[in-house]
Amino acid sequence: NAIRLAGDMSHMASFFVLLFKINKSKSVAGISLKTQELYVLVFCTRYVDIFWNHLSLYNSLMKVIFIALSVMIVYVMRRGVPQRSTYNPELDSFPHHWLVLPCVLLGVAINQDPTSPFEMAWAFSIYLEAVAIMPQLHMVQKHGEAENLTSHYIFLLGLYRVFYLVNWVYRYMTEDGYWQAIVWVSGAVQAVLYLDFFYNYVKSKQKD
């Protein structure tokens, strides 16, 4: 449906905005490497089914694109010259292990098929995605204010989540028996994390 597509497009746009920013400004200052690495982990654990679930060409293609773009971003941040010298590890100080560990435990404990390692990995990726933006938000707070393109990037990620939430409501009403507790609860948590950012983003845009 169109709402879901809008979500995917803003998600994809967020990658391109970030790649544009780090290529154009030659700097990754203010970007959390931890968040970007968590996204690589999210996509790699969620999309292992790319090898056997062929629901549509669109889905398979988007999975490849999401993995490739997230790996590319981490690559430029770690290896790019001069980008790698502009990274601020002292500001990227969020204790990310405390995000990953509970998500692993949750993924093992709460999933759609307790006998399947894939379902555990999949549930883990859903839980981790919900909180993966936290190191980035933490960095924005420590920095004081995010650069324009960085804030557009975060905004697009939050927007993607909002579109997906609306899409779930739509699907629940139009598709018989459509019901996804794990995804909905995690998605709602994820959206809530953006509230404070959204508020400041809109406020600063009004000021400009």
Partner 1 sequence: KNAAEKKDEL
Tell me the closest approach of the beta carbon of residue 179 to partner 1, in angstroms: 8
Angstrom distance (rounded) from CA 39 to CA 189: 16
Query: Taking the complex as a whole, how short is the minimal distance between the CB of residue 93 and partner 1, in angstroms?
Result: 30
Nearer to partner 1, 113 or 196 (CB): 113
- When the beta carbons of 178 and 199 are compared against partner 1, the nearer one is 178
Pick between residue 29 and residue 50 the one whose CB is nearest to partner 1.
50
Q: Backbone phi, then psi, for 91, in 5-degree steps? A: -90, -20
Cα–Cα dist 40/35, whole Å: 9
Which residue's CB is nearer to partner 1, number 95 or number 114?
Answer: 114
* Closer by beta carbon to partner 1, 47 or else 94: 47
Q: Which is nearer to partner 1, 55 or 173 (CB)?
A: 55
Candidates 141, 137, 127, 144; CA nearest to 189 is 127
147 three-class SS: coil
Kindly state the smallest distance separating residue 22's Cβ from partner 1, in Å.
23
Residue 99: CB minimum distance to partner 1, A: 21
Residues 85-90: contacts with CB under 8 Å, at least 24 apart: 86/26, 86/27, 86/28, 86/29, 87/28, 87/29, 87/31, 87/33, 88/29, 88/30, 88/139, 89/33
Q: How far is the CB of 109 from partner 1 (least distance, A)?
A: 16
User: C-beta of 107: minimal distance to partner 1 in Å?
Assistant: 14
Residue 132 CA to residue 140 CA, distance in Å, equals: 14
Contact residues for partner 1, defined by CB under 8 A: 4, 8, 11, 49, 53, 55-56, 59, 62-63, 66, 112-113, 116, 119, 122, 164, 167, 177-178, 180, 183
Separation of alpha carbons 158 and 13, rounded Å:
12
